């Protein structure tokens, strides 16, 4: 209720409910700890292990600290959801409106004003976040971990050190491709805004990348289109021309999953989901999926707008919903993704099958052009979303792990944030930032305390999953042309993995779908091979890096 009714009353209710939940979790973990090292059957051992991993916000055993932790999380989430920026002219805008300006405007000063304005939302809860870290770290200790970083990194069926190495190896596989993309985008932005604003050998100013957090760059596609006007896929225009609304868009996304032989959504999904932003109250518009009543009443919360991006987001959220539906008969301990990256990857894997041929079949584009130029254009658009995201997906939890472990002290929160953003993404703050700011908190997942490595892993695995499902479907051709739409063989393979939930360690689930027992970024390189070659040609006389 707190997500769809942000009021003082729901804050009290949510805090109390959260307090009870934290107390229950603490009780269960303490009981499970008694069985560490005890001989038991594999299924029970798996359940005990999952209980001991706890949550992203482990509550200490102390009841007062449990209450304080719940209140802090509830309040930070509410402050973010109700956030808005009022400019000097007295015009007040909520996040969605501010995001639209960043997506569409190319006025340097207007972009700077909006970028800076949204970041006024987060400093009021900087001290609350610091206190959250203190309490949750104590909770992690009570759960048997050194700190919260160790608990978070311990959720991947391997020790935290091994996981750190594994995640770094995945980034190393794809970083050279990201570097080529960064180099080309920076050159185009420098041509657009001038070398005095965008240096040809330094980081890119963060407000120029078409997104509030510079996490995806696909809104810049019109200025970066390699071959102007070739195979333009204006899905947004088609959606509007055909009078799509939020329900029809959701049903289109559902139709992809049912074409694979997966079950139809229960009618309650459309009755109980929030698909449109209410006019009469504040809500948390950040899209999310909810497993209500153990898979019997799944719902999504999304302020759907009629455009291509939101159609893709609906496919992503339904990926979560179908995971809920497929593992709903598992014991409660095993209701979850094989690891959290699996849950995030499913819907995005389906999105990779939304090829031009599929879109034509859906009546959302008029013609399909499979020329070299068309391929490069399509891959550029996707790379600005998927490849641009990878270092952002990696660095958010790098920052939190350092915060939780004490490597980044409270007095260095903002400096540590921008150091990592420059290191990983090659971007910089467009104006001076100080420790009076709290720029990490301007991203929902920080006050909402949602771990983020799952998204980095999912952006790697979705290409690995896509390749395996295309092979299962018998597709013979370039990976980027494959769509598994309406292929029941691929659907059976996907459904089998989903139904496993987290009953087995994730390498078992990975093997069930792909035949591999490790995460692998090589499918990304295969998928984007044409664009990678094109970028190298464009960059051959440029100085890349930052």
pLDDT per residue, tens digit, the chain (546 aa), is 556 656 677 667 776 777 677 777 667 767 767 777 788 888 888 888 887 776 788 888 899 999 999 999 999 999 998 999 999 888 999 998 999 999 999 999 999 999 999 999 999 999 999 999 999 999 999 888 999 999 999 889 988 889 999 999 999 999 999 999 999 999 999 999 999 999 999 999 999 999 999 999 999 999 999 999 887 778 899 999 999 999 999 999 999 999 999 999 999 999 999 998 887 777 777 789 999 988 899 999 999 899 988 999 999 999 999 999 999 999 989 999 999 999 999 999 999 999 988 999 999 988 777 789 999 999 999 999 999 999 999 999 999 999 999 999 999 999 999 999 999 999 999 999 999 999 999 999 999 999 999 999 999 999 999 999 999 999 999 999 999 999 999 999 999 999 999 999 999 999 999 999 999 999 999 999 999 999 999 999 999 999
323 is catalytic: no
Burial status of residue 278 (CB atoms within 10 A of its CB: 0-12, 13-18, 19 or more): exposed
d(CA 71, CA 2): 12
| Residue 344 designated active-site | yes
From CA 436, how far away is CA 245, in angstroms rounded?
A: 42
The sign of the dihedral angle between the CA atoms of 304, 309, 312, 317 is negative
Phi-psi region of 335 (alpha: psi -120 to 50; beta: other; left: phi over 0): beta
Which position among 238, 286, 358, 370 bears the catalytic label? Answer: 286
Q: Could you say which of 17, 23, 238, 287 is catalytic?
A: 287
Catalytic residue among 182, 320, 339, 480: 320
For the whole model, what pTM was predicted? 0.89
Among candidate residues 207, 316, 466, 480, the one labeled active-site is 316
Cα separation, 520 vs 168, in Å, equals 12
Q: Are 238 and 225 in contact (CB under 8 A)?
A: no
161 in catalytic set: no
Yes or no: say if 135 and 69 are a contact pair by the CB < 8 Å rule: yes
Helix (H, G, I), strand (E, B) or coil at 366: coil
DSSP string, 422-451: HHHH-EE-SS---TT--GGGGSTTTTTT--
Is 320 designated active site? yes
11 a catalytic residue: no
Report the alpha-carbon distance of residue 186 to residue 166 in Å, rounded: 30
Distance CA 499, CA 4 (A): 30
Catalytic residue among 25, 246, 344, 422: 344
Q: Which residues, at least 6 apart from 116, have a Cβ–Cβ distance to it below 8 Å?
A: 207, 430, 431
Asked about 167 being catalytic, the answer comes back as no
CA distance 352 to 463: 8
Judge residue 125's burial from the number of C-beta atoms within 10 Å of its C-beta, 0-12 exposed, 13-18 middle, 19 or more buried.
Answer: buried
How many whole angstroms separate alpha carbon 388 and alpha carbon 404?
Answer: 26
Q: Which residues pair with 292 in a beta bridge?
A: 297
> With b meaning 16 or more CB within 10 Å and e meaning fewer, what string describes 208-244?
bbbbbbbbbbbbbbeebebeeebbebebbebbeeeeb
Clarify whether 411 is annotated catalytic.
no
Marked catalytic residue, from 207, 315, 339, 445: 445
Confirm whether 287 is a catalytic residue.
yes
Confirm if 96 and 88 have CB atoms less than 8 A apart: no
């Amino acid at each position: 209720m707190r997500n769809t009714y942000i009021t003082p009353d729901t804050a009290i209710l949510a805090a109390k409910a959260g307090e009870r939940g934290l107390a229950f979790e603490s009780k269960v973990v303490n009981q499970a700890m008694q069985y560490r090292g005890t001989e038991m059957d594999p299924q029970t051992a798996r359940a005990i292990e999952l209980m001991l991993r706890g949550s992203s916000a482990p509550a200490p055993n102390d009841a007062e600290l449990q209450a304080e932790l719940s209140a802090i999380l509830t309040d930070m989430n509410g402050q973010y959801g109700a956030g808005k920026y009022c400019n000097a002219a007295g015009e007040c805008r909520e996040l969605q409106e501010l995001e639209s300006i960043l997506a569409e405007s190319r006025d340097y000063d207007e972009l700077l004003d909006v970028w800076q304005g949204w970041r006024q939302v987060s400093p009021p809860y900087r001290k609350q976040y610091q206190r959250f870290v203190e309490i949750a770290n104590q909770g992690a200790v009570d759960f048997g971990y050194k700190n919260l970083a160790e608990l978070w990194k311990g959720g991947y069926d391997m020790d935290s050190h091994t996981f750190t190495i594994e995640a770094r190896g995945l980034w190393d596989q794809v970083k050279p491709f990201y570097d080529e993309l960064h180099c080309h985008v920076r050159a185009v932005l420098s041509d657009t805004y001038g070398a005095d604003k965008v240096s040809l050998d330094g980081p890119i100013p963060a407000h120029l990348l078409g997104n509030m957090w510079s996490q995806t760059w696909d809104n810049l596609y019109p200025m970066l289109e390699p071959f102007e006007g070739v195979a333009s896929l204006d899905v947004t225009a088609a959606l509007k021309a055909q009078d799509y609304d939020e329900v029809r868009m959701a049903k289109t996304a559902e139709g992809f999953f049912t074409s694979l032989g997966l079950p139809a959504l229960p009618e309650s999904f459309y009755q109980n989901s929030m698909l449109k932003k209410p006019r009469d109250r504040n809500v948390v518009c950040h899209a999310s999926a909810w497993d209500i009543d153990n898979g019997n009443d799944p719902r999504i919360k999304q302020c759907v707008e009629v455009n291509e991006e939101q159609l893709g987001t609906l496919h992503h959220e339904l990926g979560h919903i179908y995971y809920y539906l497929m593992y709903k008969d598992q014991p409660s301990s095993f209701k979850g993704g094989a690891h959290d990256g699996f849950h995030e990857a499913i819907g995005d894997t389906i999105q990779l099958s939304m090829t031009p041929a599929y879109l034509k079949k859906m009546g959302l584009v008029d013609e399909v052009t499979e020329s070299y130029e068309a391929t490069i254009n399509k891959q550029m658009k996707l790379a600005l979303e998927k490849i641009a995201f990878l270092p952002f997906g990696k660095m958010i939890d790098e920052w939190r792990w350092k915060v939780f472990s004490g490597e980044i002290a409270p007095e260095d929160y903002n400096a540590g944030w921008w150091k990592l953003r420059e290191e990983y993404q090659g971007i910089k703050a467009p104006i001076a930032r100080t420790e009076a700011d709290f720029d990490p908190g301007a991203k929902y997942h920080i006050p909402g305390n949602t771990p983020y490595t799952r998204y980095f892993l999912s952006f790697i695995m979705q290409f690995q999953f896509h390749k395996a499902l295309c092979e299962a479907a018998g597709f013979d051709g370039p990976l980027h042309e494959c769509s598994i739409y309406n292929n029941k063989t691929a659907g059976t393979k996907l459904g089998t993995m989903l139904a496993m939930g987290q009953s087995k360690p994730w390498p078992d689930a990975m093997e069930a779908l792909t035949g591999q027992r490790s995460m692998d970024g090589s499918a990304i390189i295969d998928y984007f091979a044409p664009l990678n070659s094109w970028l190298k040609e464009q960059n051959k006389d440029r100085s890349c890096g930052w």
